[in-house]
Copies of this chain bind each other. A is one copy, B any other.
């Protein structure tokens, strides 16, 4: 079914409102274009609600949040909820500062999210109210492995039930769950962590997929996670001797631009738990 879900993105070309960080914003815009969606970035509270209203979905990323963009996140989130638009939360660095943790927790109170995507440390921070995030990367002690996978699935499932959101915990093994069914996804490459913003791009991509497939948020989010990982694999195979993380970054976005719905269906590597 991933084939159909991706076809919907390419055919509907959903317009996605991004309130995101300035570190990876250009990559998020190009990734959205690569998958067939259209990006718009707007983070002033003087226009956030109006911009959300003309879009199909909203992607909130707290990567370089500040006192002026935080109110825009709340305003846009509530407006998107009122309009029935899908909303994605990327709690970048939750646990790294009180401001990030509290902003993410307050957003969870005021806004109903369709998808919450983060690394395991960020998601744990949201459940516990505090965390041990190592900057914007997951803490080593938290990492999801084959050994603790069932435990991690169970944890994500509980958080999904608590929030009503699809939870996407991404890392070496990705978990995407709606509290009932859980995708355990093994697409992707470890080299992706040497490119800044692959997580941010995935959140933007998830917003595009759930917006184009409003009746299937779980499958749409899982398809986005598989697509991103698959592009990481395709791009990795393209790497030649002098290429490094900057070429890899380009190749990942290129791979999404070239990815066909059929290739996603075939390359998606997951099991249900």
Contacts and interface: CB of A to CB of B under 8 A. Distances in A.
A136 interface: yes
A22 B27 CA distance: 12
Contacts of A42: 64, 93, 96-97
A168 B64 CA distance: 29
Contact of A33 (B25, B38, B43, B196): B196
A99 interface: yes
A50 B98 contact: yes
A105 interface: no
A263 B259 CA distance: 35
A22 to B, nearest CB: 4
A30 B247 CA distance: 11
B246 A194 contact: no
Given A194-B33, A242-B258, A24 B23 contact: no
Interface of A: 15, 21-27, 29-30, 33-34, 38-44, 46-47, 50-51, 54-55, 63-68, 93, 96-100, 134-137, 194-197, 234, 238, 242-247, 249-258
A-B pairs, top 7 by smallest CB distance, nearest first, are A244-B257, A244-B254, A246-B253, A47-B97, A29-B196, A44-B66, A47-B99
